[in-house]
Amino acid sequence: MRPRRARRRSALTPYLFLAPGLVLFAAFRVYPLLEGLWLSFTNARLGRAQQTFVGVANYSRLLDDTRFHASLLNTAYYTIASTLPILAVPLVLAIALNRGVAMRTFLRGAFFFPFTLSVVTVGLTWLWLLDPVIGPSTYYLRALGVPVRSWLADPATAMWGIILTSVWWVTGYYLVIYLAGLQDIPRELYEAAALDGAGGWRSFWGITLPLLRPVFLFVLVTHIIGSFQIFGQVFILTNGGPGDATRTVVQHLYETAFQNFFHFGSATAMAWVLFLVILAFSLVQFRLLRGHTQY
Amino acid sequence: MSPTSSRVGYAILTALMVALAVAWLLPVVWVVVTSLKLTENIVRVPPEWIPWPATLEHYGEVLFSSSRTARIGRAFLNSAVVSLGSVAIVLLTSAMAAYPLARMRFGGRGPVFGLLVGSLMIPNAVILVPQYVLVQRLGWLSTYQGLIVPEAAMTFAFGVFLLRQFFLTIPAELEDAARIDGAGPWQIFTRILLPLSQPVLSALAIFAFRSAWNDFLWPLIAVNKPDMFPLPVALALLRGAYAAESYGPIMAGAALSALPLLIVFLVANRRIVEGVRVSALKG
């Protein structure tokens, strides 16, 4: 009797170890995900006890919601416009740091530090720096003869103020990832290339970039998932304005669900449309950058 | 290149990078400088980079005065409770879950791990509204548990992933030896695996702390009592409470909110970097 019980207990062991985490995960990740999908087909509202099924009404309403269209375009614009700086700025810094400069730990720390700040702190910092009247950037740019505008209040430049803020915030994170990727590239490859007479540029294009492909994929997918959900920077810097020039999907979702209409059905429908857009963009990245680099 | 010219080249590169790094930190310096200035000096143009005469009045005001808005002092406490609570839950649940996923054979191991890793791709925005509905139904709005538990659930899957990678590298002989000595799975977990995993556990703790400490959107909707606001929400509202030109208190609040992670960062710089590295490259 005894050995059998012991065996049954040991068969249960893995599940007992998993149980607390999986309960947490099921209740606060899986269940809300599915409930959200259901809510998007109902007329759910804040404070309404019972919801009724309304078919695709929430989704078809999104087809007429011009503000949703604007926010989707703004979000895509933000994501695409920030992609190049997010890919390039940390890469350039990482390559420079990887060249054996002195004080590497300090330098890496300096670039990484903004990433430890909350989006609110970052937003308030840049709000102050870009203040059109008394902000220091205004003063110095004017001193340099640059015509200064109220960047964040001008529809043509407001989004770029947000992009600048984001790049400053996350560069250090991607820098660390690039540095790790660069260190994984075998030194011998560069030495062999140098023996064959390849200069710095040749080995950059021929070795560094192709071998960093998995790192680019990670950076791009992380960037896309994050950028399509941008909220905090916009909330602090422009609150979606001027007009709708910087309103993003998550902000519109937040306003629909928690500020103006308390309409959970519409808001979850927006969330699922956003999810599908993110999925599509991520799959394209996987397709483009997939494949094994062999040497 | 000859050795001398390359040494000169490195010196120039270093100087360039140091200049760039200092420029990168100027916004932070500006925040601190502003927070220490007298109100009438803040608006002065050209910008003054030395806060003299210096004052701590803005810090005193945001920490203790309740006249205008949620007190930052209270928000600081709220953020500390929420972040530490979330760290504790994340460490416990993900270490326990990662152990069998790394070291035991059992039915469903592949699908469970696949589900957890797959969930890392799900945007939080999709979960926002239904999570609110759930937390409201539980009666957890404007409570610590209403912030702690969802934050922990958000980081759990990542924690499992990170710890499993590490547990896989621990040699099986250690476990076998302990088993021969009569140790059960729980003893192996607490006496062997956890002590050996201290570096990665602290990396995960820092990661979980950072994400709970800095999260903004979830507490913005899940809390509607000023006394329960965590720092990011209290700071965002501070901005509305003061006129645009009085950046002093706002910057004092911003500087205070950055303090804990600055300290962690100075102490554990390498560990944070290692955590980011491991998490990204195994993904």
Domain segments of chain A as ranges: 59-289
Q: pLDDT tens, B103-151?
A: 999 999 999 999 999 998 899 999 999 999 999 999 999 999 999 999 9
* Integer CA distances (angstroms), A8 to A5, A153, B30, B73, in order: 5, 68, 64, 53
What single-letter amino acid sits at A168? W
Q: CA B86 to CA A89: how far, in whole Å? A: 33
Closest chain A residue to B13, measured at CA: A101
**Closest approach of B252 to chain A, Cα-based (Å):** 11
What confidence score (pLDDT) does residue A294 get?
43
Closest chain A residue to B24, measured at CA: A111
Q: Residues of A with CB below 8 A from B189's CB?
A: 17
- Alpha-carbon torsion B76, B77, B80, B83, what sign? negative
**Closest approach of A156 to chain B, Cα-based (Å):** 23
Q: CA A234 to CA A240: how far, in whole Å? A: 6
Which pTM was predicted? Answer: 0.91
Give exposure, B31-46, as e/b (b: 16+ Cβ within 10 Å): bebbbbbeeebbeeee
Long-range contacts of B107-115 (CB under 8 A, 24+ apart): B109/A14, B112/A18, B112/A22, B113/B160, B113/B164
Tokens coding A82: 């920030």
Residue A295 has pLDDT above 70, yes or no: no
pLDDT band at residue A1 under the 50/70/90 scheme: very low
**Closest approach of B21 to chain A, Cα-based (Å):** 6
A148/A268: higher pLDDT: A268
Nearest to A35 among B24, B123, B133 (CB): B133
* Binary contact (B25, A268; C-beta < 8 A): no
Q: What is the average per-residue pLDDT within A251-256?
A: 95
* Binary contact (B97, A18; C-beta < 8 A): yes
Give exposure, A261-292, as e/b (b: 16+ Cβ within 10 Å): eebbbbbbbbbbbbbebbeebbeebeeeeeee
Domains and CATH numbers, chain B: 3-55 (no CATH), 69-281 (1.10.3720.10)
Q: Residues of B with CB below 8 A from A249's CB?
A: 125
* Binary contact (B258, A236; C-beta < 8 A): no
* Binary contact (A99, B10; C-beta < 8 A): yes
Tokens coding A93: 């810094």
* Ramachandran bin of B139, using left for φ above 0, alpha for ψ from -120 to 50, beta for the remaining angles: left
Closest chain A residue to B273, measured at CA: A176
CB-CB contact of B257 with B33 (8 Å): no
Cis before B46 (ω within 30): yes
Q: What is the average per-residue pLDDT within A170-177?
A: 93
What confidence score (pLDDT) does residue A7 get?
60
> How many DSSP H helices and E strands does chain A contain?
15, 0
Q: CA A100 to CA A107: how far, in whole Å? A: 12
- For residue A168, give the nearest of A136, A129, A140 by alpha carbon: A129
Number of Cβ atoms within 10 Å of the Cβ of B8: 12
Q: Residues of A with CB below 8 A from B276's CB?
A: 173, 176-177, 180
Residue with tokens 């059992």: B106
Mutation test of the interface with chain A: which of B128, B148, B262, choosing the one with the most A Cβ atoms within 10 A? B128
The parts of chain B modelled with pLDDT lower than 50 are 1, 283
Number of Cβ atoms within 10 Å of the Cβ of A5: 9
* Binary contact (A32, B130; C-beta < 8 A): yes
Nearest to B261 among A116, A127, A249 (CB): A116
Residues of chain A with pLDDT > 90, as a percent, come to 58
What single-letter amino acid sits at B136? Q
- For residue A35, give the nearest of B150, B155, B129 by alpha carbon: B129
- A59-289: CATH class: mainly alpha
Residue A94 has pLDDT above 80, yes or no: yes
Residue A49 has pLDDT above 90, yes or no: no
